[in-house]
Amino acid sequence: MKHLSILCTLTLWLAGLGLHLAFAQSGDHFYKNDTWQASWIAPPGTSADGYGVYHYRKVIDLKQKPDSFSVKVSGDNRFKLFVNGRLVALGPASGDLYHWNYETVNIAPYLRSGKNILAATVYNEGANRPEAEISNRTGFILQGVSKNEAENEVESNSNVKSNLAHLAAAVNTNDSWKSIKDEGYQVLPYYFVAISGQLVDMAKVIKGWKSLDFDDSKWPKAESVAQGRPKGASDGNGWMLVPSQIPQMERTYQRIEVLRKTTGMPAPAGFPVEKKAITIPANSQVTMLLDQTYLTNAYFTLKLSKGKGARVAIGYAETLYEIPTDPGQKDHPKKGNRNDIEGKFFKGVTDSILPDGSLHQDFTTLNYRTYRYVQLRIYTGDQPLIIQDIYGTFTGYPFKWNARFKTSDAKGQLIQKF
């Protein structure tokens, strides 16, 4: 038994050594004892662990567009990275402080000669963040390829090497970036284990901040809150950065299929599967039940115009619930057939929007929502509200369908198919 125990211990040690070497040979700074040139940054004077939505900006000037240029990027708790207004990455992949994932993204296709804008949103739901989300403190980090990496990638062209090295230094997060808290976002005061709803006041939301011509002269410089360190070089008091071992989640445009029910106004023809504007009259109360017809994970987008003084509540649910007939079912109502809506009530995570009366107000959820049904509850004031468009952006990890399965009941009727 003693020899068997030693053999098992040796086997586990060798397996661990093999895994360590595999990561060490991955060529992406895993367990490599060096420090990033970039710092974790945050707006000055903001809460380290409270609720907040924060925006970051950095303008860079390029003599010529590179053929390839990668950045390593991460955030706490969640980030979205934009280049010249295009969403190019979001994350990070879930981990822990001992394995804090960063994404590696080639941003060259989104760059151009001349001035470019790098922008990011970082949000932290604080005490209301999902139970699965771990946080050290609010922060954002981005690093360009290092000088050595640039030399390895383009050994034969000294001009390209010089440009890439200069670009890498220019994009690194430090106090050359600007950052500010967006006061237009609040967390709705209820707890849900997976994700919280947002209250978005369009009169306070910072608009147009991702564009190059936005005036950020009043934004403060970001401040460094920690040096970027890979796992193996970290002092254990912050994020131990590791490269994400899984691909970025997909993002696919997705129309909502059916309007199942409406009250307060006639059902608009073709809405919402067709992209078309509809007007909610002034001083109205309108409820619409939309049906994706299948369960999805998606970033939900609602585009509005006008509607000053209105309130819009957007609820998301996998199904509707049967109205309890037994008092004992009050806290745990039955779902029944997911296709049925009559005699049922809606219950789900809710986002709320306060329109400001302007044209082209855009709302997209910070995190994705899981739903089949979406309920819109709209209360207008003295100004009509125009819904210009409504849709989702499906997200999920890439999945290739390799097999199919189906089964039948005793009468030969198909009852399930995968």
Mean pLDDT of the chain: 87
Local structure of 346: helix, strand or coil: coil
DSSP-derived secondary structure letter, 221: B
Q: Which residue has the higher pLDDT, 394 or 133?
A: 394
- What domains can you pick out in the chain, each with its CATH number? 28-183+208-243 (2.60.120.260), 250-396 (2.60.120.260)
Q: Which residue has the higher pLDDT, 196 or 197?
A: 197
Interval 196-211 mean pLDDT: 96
C-alpha 215/C-alpha 407 separation (Å) is 61
| Confidence at 1, pLDDT banded by 50, 70, 90 | very low
Least confident piece of the model among 156-160, 165-169, 339-343: 156-160
Q: What is the pLDDT of residue 324?
A: 82
Q: 82-116, pLDDT tens digit by residue? A: 999 999 999 999 999 999 999 999 999 999 999 99
Q: What is the pLDDT of residue 19?
A: 42
C-alpha 30/C-alpha 123 separation (Å) is 26
Q: What is the pLDDT of residue 161?
A: 65
Q: What is the pLDDT of residue 142?
A: 98
Q: 233-274, pLDDT tens digit by residue? A: 877 778 999 999 999 999 999 999 999 999 999 999 999 999
Nearest CA to 303 out of 199, 385, 395 is that of 385
Nearest CA to 305 out of 387, 377, 364 is that of 387
- pLDDT of 295 strictly over 70: yes
Residues 6+ apart with CB under 8 A from 359: 305, 306
| Confidence at 402, pLDDT banded by 50, 70, 90 | confident
Percentage of residues in the chain with pLDDT exceeding 90?
71
Residues 6+ apart with CB under 8 A from 289: 259, 260, 261, 262, 341, 346, 373, 374, 375
Q: What is the pLDDT of residue 418?
A: 55
Interval 145-151 mean pLDDT: 54
- pLDDT of 24 strictly over 60: no
C-alpha 198/C-alpha 123 separation (Å) is 11
- pLDDT of 391 strictly over 90: yes
Q: What is the pLDDT of residue 342?
A: 94
Q: Which residue has the higher pLDDT, 417 or 361?
A: 361
Strand positions, DSSP E, 77-176: 78-83, 86-91, 100-106, 114-124, 139-144
C-alpha 176/C-alpha 293 separation (Å) is 47
Secondary structure (DSSP) of 55-94: EEEEEEEESS--S--EEEEEEESEEEEEETTEEEEEEPPS
- Whole-prediction pTM: 0.85
Q: What are the b/e assignments for 106-128, b being 16+ CB within 10 Å?
A: ebeebbeeeebbbbbbbbbbbeb
Q: What is the pLDDT of residue 415?
A: 65
Burial of 96: CB neighbours in 10 Å, binned 0-12, 13-18, 19+: exposed
CB 312 within 8 A of CB 378: yes
Q: 204-218, pLDDT tens digit by residue? A: 999 999 999 999 999
Q: Which residue has the higher pLDDT, 328 or 217?
A: 217
Q: Which residue has the higher pLDDT, 399 or 346?
A: 346
Q: What is the pLDDT of residue 17?
A: 40
Residues 6+ apart with CB under 8 A from 168: 37, 143, 144, 145, 146, 147, 149, 150
Q: What is the pLDDT of residue 29?
A: 41
Q: Which residue has the higher pLDDT, 151 or 66?
A: 66
Local structure of 131: helix, strand or coil: coil
- pLDDT of 191 strictly over 80: no
DSSP-derived secondary structure letter, 137: S
Burial of 263: CB neighbours in 10 Å, binned 0-12, 13-18, 19+: exposed
